[in-house]
Chain A
């Protein structure tokens, strides 16, 4: 049973527009969320995170929004650039020393 779900396997966006990647989770005890980005033939790299005490965290063109009541988070990329084309993984964590739970990933293609 997937505790972290990324229901869109792929997303295509025009360069300069906003990309919105979505993630849902089932375990209300998750209290820390992360996004990782993965290019082909490379390992995932950390992108941005958010604690459950916040509802928004921004880092340059990347913003993560958290809606705890809906158990939903989203990653916004504005403006999207061709170099953002990658697979994006959502991950969540329970408090304490427990490992991350990852979603299946969403492949973003930014078209020039």
Chain B
């Protein structure tokens, strides 16, 4: 299996522009997570999906952030409009349907976003 795939790997954009990050989870995994990593806050959970349905989006910082999962093999995280403080590494992770969400999550390589 190719693992969790994220694109793009790097994104540089100007303040005010729309940014879309993409994720393909591991085939057969029922949970998908979006995280953001910054020096100040570490690894924060933004939102997660179960069977394509958003379960908890309380970590989404503002209305400028939105996430969708139109099918089991694809998810997007959109920031509109982007701001310099959104600069971070964004990770997507997936895991099998299990009793507890503690079971191993597999992370993608991340997208490094820089907003100028």
Q: Which residues of A contact B (CB under 8 A)?
A: 2, 6, 32, 34, 41-46, 49, 89, 93, 95-105
| Dominant SS among interface residues on chain A | loop
**Distance in angstroms between the alpha carbons of A42 and B39 in the assembled complex:** 16
| Chain B residues near A95 (CB-CB < 8 A) | 100
Q: Is the CB of A100 within 8 A of B41?
A: no
Chain B residues within CB distance 8 Å of chain A: 4, 33, 35, 39, 41-45, 48, 56, 91, 93, 99-102, 104-110
Q: Given A34-B102, A93-B101, are A43 and B108 neighbors across the interface (CB < 8 Å)?
A: yes
Q: Are B102 and A44 in contact (CB under 8 A)?
A: no
For the complex, give the distance between the alpha carbons of A34 and B101 in Å.
12
| Chain B residues, Cβ within 8 Å of A41 | 109-110
List 8 additional contacts besides A32-B102, A104-B39, A105-B43; criterion CB under 8 Å.
A43-B108, A46-B104, A93-B100, A93-B101, A97-B99, A97-B100, A101-B45, A102-B45
Contact B101 A100 (CB under 8 A): yes
Contacts of B91 in A (CB 8 A): 43-44
Q: Which residue in A32, A43, A103 is a CB contact (below 8 Å) of B93? A: A43
**CB < 8 Å neighbour of B107 from A6, A45, A105:** A45
* CB-nearest residue of chain A to B43: A102
Tell me whether B45 and A100 are in contact (CB under 8 A): yes
Residues on B with beta carbons closer than 8 Å to the beta carbon of A32: 100, 102
